[in-house]
Amino acid sequence: MARFEHFGMILLTACCLAPGQQSQAPATLALRQGTRPDTPSYLLGPEDQIKIWAYGVEEITDKPIRIDPSGNIDLPVVGKVHAGGRTLEQLKTDLVERFSTQILKPQVSIEIVEFGSQPVSVMGAVNHPGVHQIQGRKTLMEVVSMADGLRPDAGPRIHISRQIAYGAIPLSTAKTDETGNFSVAEVSVKNLLAGKNPAENIPILPHDVVTVPMTEAVYVMGEVRKPGEVALKDNPSISVLQALASAEGLGPTPSPQNATIVRFVDGMKERKEIAVDLRKIQAGQAEDIAMRPNDILYVPQSGPKKAGARALEAAIQAATGIAIWRHP
């Protein structure tokens, strides 16, 4: 038998509580997260959890309901209801219509208690890599901020990958990958932070992957004052003299005329060794060679040739170990 009752109006609200977070007023949450408390444009999806109050329908409690992978919820009295892809207001309208067969002028209230349907992966040289849930509209800068910002070893560009079903990334650098399934693009970190082109601070969509590679580096080893890696930062390459200057110059007993650049060529197991006469370069009598990412500049110690060869091998192993550690 149908039940006809009339109950007072309850405001439709939405808020989100992170795991372990204490309950707060929706307005406070909105200020911190940059979203309106009722999130009117938020589209519900799988793994979101909601609470529904339908006054007069005692079978429905305030127990959180998780939206299933198909985007559906199963409710007493009305059965299966599709919630995925709908706003709170749209879902409310649908439920009011369904409950109207049981209740006169039904009043329904819905609240989001946990967001789970809009994951974005932020990977690489950020302080908190992993999967983050976006709530409402988020820009690229906001998503990077959700990952606690860039690390000091962050490279000069941010890479974005988006499922082609969501459309192409709205950037001039965007292209479709080889599989045809993803739109990929990149943004200059320097320009983004400086705000030189605000259009590059694009909205990030659910399931996007934002990757911040670590900066490329070259390595200076052997008889120098400060051996180790030299970050390229915004530069695609660095000259031999610049790399040597970053290593604080030659050590006490160098053999600069016998320096070597060791270069690993993609797709080849064998390395390429380029002879470098640092004395002539410093005197302006030879070209200051451009070093590529992962090149090793080795300055041998003056002494027997055989000992120098062994030291070169040790230097290559040390530099390779650093590169592997930096790029796991």
CA pair distance 71, 92, nearest whole angstrom: 15
Average pLDDT over residues 138-149: 94
Q: Is 213 left (phi over 0), alpha (psi -120 to 50) or beta?
A: beta
Average pLDDT over residues 55-61: 81
- Among the four given CATH numbers 3.40.50.11540, 3.30.300.280, 3.30.1950.10, 3.30.1120.130, the one describing domain 26-114: 3.30.1950.10
pLDDT attached to residue 264: 82
For 217-326, CATH gives 3.10.560.10
pLDDT attached to residue 106: 85
Cα–Cα nearest to 26, from 88, 73, 85, 74: 88
Residue pair 290/237 in contact (Cβ under 8 Å)? The answer is yes
Backbone angles phi, psi at 226, to 5 degrees: -140, 80
Per residue in 193-223, pLDDT tens?
A: 888 889 999 999 989 999 999 888 999 999 9
Give CA separation, 281 vs 18, 242, 263, 278, 321, in Å. 59, 12, 19, 5, 29
- The structure tokens listed for 184 are 């990929």
3-state DSSP assignment of residue 264: strand
Helix (H) or strand (E) holding 88: helix 88-99
Per residue in 100-122, pLDDT tens?
A: 888 888 889 999 888 887 889 99
**At residue 187, does pLDDT exceed 80?**
yes
Residue pair 120/134 in contact (Cβ under 8 Å)? The answer is yes
Helix (H) or strand (E) holding 74: strand 72-75
Cα–Cα nearest to 160, from 196, 115, 213: 213
Per residue in 36-47, pLDDT tens?
A: 334 567 788 888
Sign for the pseudo-dihedral over CA of 113, 119, 120, 122:
positive
Residue 77's pLDDT band (cuts 50, 70, 90): confident
Across the chain, what does the average pLDDT equal? 81
111 or 136: whose pLDDT is higher?
A: 111
Q: Which residue has the tokens 């302080």?
A: 127
Per residue in 277-312, pLDDT tens?
A: 999 999 999 999 999 988 999 999 887 544 555 565
Residue 26's pLDDT band (cuts 50, 70, 90): very low
**Are 26-114 and 119-212 the same fold in CATH?**
no
Per residue in 168-184, pLDDT tens?
A: 999 999 999 999 999 99
3-state DSSP assignment of residue 307: helix
The 8-class DSSP code of residue 198 comes to: G
The domains of the chain are located at: 26-114, 119-212, 217-326
**At residue 14, does pLDDT exceed 60?**
no
Rg (CA), the chain: 30
pLDDT attached to residue 314: 62
Residue 326's pLDDT band (cuts 50, 70, 90): low
**At residue 324, does pLDDT exceed 90?**
no
- Among the four given CATH numbers 3.40.50.980, 2.102.10.10, 3.40.50.720, 3.10.560.10, the one describing domain 119-212: 3.10.560.10
Q: Which residue has the tokens 């590059």?
A: 200
**At residue 234, does pLDDT exceed 60?**
yes
Q: What percent of the chain has pLDDT over 90?
A: 48
Residue 21's pLDDT band (cuts 50, 70, 90): very low
pTM for this one?
0.60
Residue 24's pLDDT band (cuts 50, 70, 90): very low
Half-sphere exposure of 182 (CA within 13 A, CB side): 13
